Chain A
Amino acid sequence: NAGVTQTPKFRILKIGQSMTLQCAQDMNHNYMYWYRQDPGMGLKLIYYSVGAGITDKGEVPNGYNVSRSTTEDFPLRLELAAPSQTSVYFCASSQTGGNTNEKLFFGSGTQLSVL
């Protein structure tokens, strides 16, 4: 049981390039999330998904896209990378959501620099 796996761990992009951050979980969790963490700051929710085929925007969705074709995978797409997207990205999952109290399981993060 690997938990939440993120790839790559590090990436440097040029302005305007695109890339996909991969996230997979093997816990059969319904809910998955993408957060970004800027230096010295807390985590901001980018997008989340409550199940396969369903996604919704979080606090800071601009410049990103997601898809959820399977329960296991929740990739995050950057279409036109900008310096403001330099950050550490964390994927997380939880079994349930809504009006239940469920802790989040996090991946180890992807450190992205846009130059």
Chain B
Amino acid sequence: GESVGLHLPTLSVQEGDNSIINCAYSNSASDYFIWYKQESGKGPQFIIDIRSNMDKRQGQRVTVLLNKTVKHLSLQIAATQPGDSAVYFCAEKGWRGYQKVTFGTGTKLQVIP
């Protein structure tokens, strides 16, 4: 079946270092991928997305990389800040007539001051 999963449940990073959060997906038909950030007590918030016809997309301090060959997605956060501490979810969507987004289990990012 379809699944979206993460390699590391918890990631601790020193403030100022770069963070890399990984995600594996199994549905080769997925054509759109999204990263969400969820701070404690809040709903998920969109960070960045990427379509399957791209392998890299950059935002402000964040970069998403897509490797379709090995079905792998990663989120890179440059110069990690304490405000980046949160749970990060990858999600995927494929064409199913209606938008149904499948979420992974999440990675908790802890920034060490």
Report the bound CA distance from A48 to B101 in whole Å. 11
Known contacts A90-B44, A103-B49, A104-B46; A98 and B103 CB within 8 A of each other: no
Are A40 and B97 in contact, with the CB atoms below 8 A?
no
Closest partner residue, chain B, to A9 (CB atom):
B41
Are A48 and B44 in contact, with the CB atoms below 8 A?
no
Q: Please encode chain B, from 70 to 107, with 1 for each CB lying within 8 Å of some chain A CB and 0 for all others.
A: 00000000000000000001000101011111011110
Q: Find chain B residues with CB under 8 A from A112 CB.
A: none
Q: Find chain A residues with CB under 8 A from B61 CB.
A: none
Known contacts A58-B100, A99-B95, A101-B32; A42 and B42 CB within 8 A of each other: no
Are B97 and A106 in contact, with the CB atoms below 8 A?
no
Q: Is B51 an interface residue (CB 8 A)?
A: yes
Q: Which of A42, A96, A97, A102 has the most CB of B within 10 A?
A: A42
Interface residues in A13-54 by Cβ distance below 8 A to B read 31, 35, 40-45, 48, 50
Q: Is B64 an interface residue (CB 8 A)?
A: no
Closest partner residue, chain A, to B104 (CB atom):
A42
Are A109 and B42 in contact, with the CB atoms below 8 A?
yes
Are B49 and A101 in contact, with the CB atoms below 8 A?
yes
Are B43 and A98 in contact, with the CB atoms below 8 A?
no
Report the bound CA distance from A79 to B59 in whole Å. 44
Closest partner residue, chain B, to A41 (CB atom):
B105
Are A109 and B100 in contact, with the CB atoms below 8 A?
no
Q: Is B45 an interface residue (CB 8 A)?
A: yes
Q: Which of A40, A50, A104, A106 has the most CB of B within 10 A?
A: A104
Closest partner residue, chain B, to A44 (CB atom):
B103
Known contacts A101-B32, A101-B51; A106 and B45 CB within 8 A of each other: yes
- For residue B94, give the distance in angstroms from its CB to the closest CB of chain A: 9
Q: Per a CB cutoff under 8 Å, which of B9, B41, B43 touches A106?
A: B43
Q: What 8 A-B pairs have minimum CB-CB distances, sorted nearest first?
A: A97-B99, A106-B43, A42-B103, A103-B46, A43-B103, A101-B32, A42-B105, A99-B95
Chain A residues close to B by CB (< 8 Å): 4, 31, 35, 40-45, 48, 50, 56, 58, 90, 92, 94, 96-109
